[in-house]
Copies of this chain bind each other. A is one copy, B any other.
Amino acid sequence: MSIGLAEARRIIAAAEKKADELGQPMNVAVVDAGGNLVAFERMANAWLGSIDISQKKAWTSRAFDITTKDLGTHSQSGDQFFGIHASNDGKVMIFAGGIPLKVDGKVVGAIGVSGGSGEQDHAVAEAGAAAL
């Protein structure tokens, strides 16, 4: 099973609702089980540099079946995955905002959020993921 456009729209809507509550405009992306982009939205005044980051956070979460927040904890200087950000042609994001989307414990896609602090990005991604 893999995320489709209908689910992606619902996930993005839930994420944007949370972003509105936080008062921080976000870029939100959803990828399917193959890691390919299904849908993306940039809220008004969200950072331009986060268009790319949100999509890559989603890809990363699917590529390694892990939140980018958790991946980041293993990827700082001195940690076991330090240097992983140089792999996959720069697609690996190692800071909070990406979360795998699961159905019955199986990863079927991922959401990536970028536009605020790491804490805000992660909270918005969680709100989106909860809508699945």
How many Å lie between the Cα of A83 and that of B76 in the bound state?
9
How many Å lie between the Cα of A61 and that of B117 in the bound state?
16
Per the CB 8 Å criterion, the residue count for chain A at the interface is 39
Does residue A21 face the partner (Cβ distance < 8 Å to B)? no
Contact of A90 with B81 at beta-carbon distance under 8 Å, contacts A47-B65, A50-B64, A63-B47 already known: no
Q: Which residues of B contact A94 (CB under 8 A)?
A: 82-83, 86
Tell which of B34, B49, B92, B119 touches A92, judged by Cβ atoms closer than 8 Å.
Answer: B49
**Residues 33-72 (chain A) with a chain B CB within 8 angstroms:** 34-35, 47-50, 52-53, 56, 60, 62-65, 72
Q: Which residues of B contact A89 (CB under 8 A)?
A: 52, 90
Q: Which residues of B contact A75 (CB under 8 A)?
A: 82-83
- Inter-chain pairs besides A50-B64, A72-B82, A89-B90, 7 sampled, C-beta below 8 Å: A49-B63, A49-B87, A49-B88, A80-B95, A86-B86, A86-B90, A90-B90
The 9 A-B pairs with the shortest beta carbon distances in the complex, nearest first, are A49-B63, A80-B118, A83-B94, A77-B77, A85-B86, A52-B88, A83-B85, A48-B63, A53-B87
What are 9 inter-chain pairs, A to B, with CB distance below 8 A? A47-B64, A49-B60, A49-B91, A52-B89, A56-B87, A75-B83, A76-B77, A86-B92, A87-B93
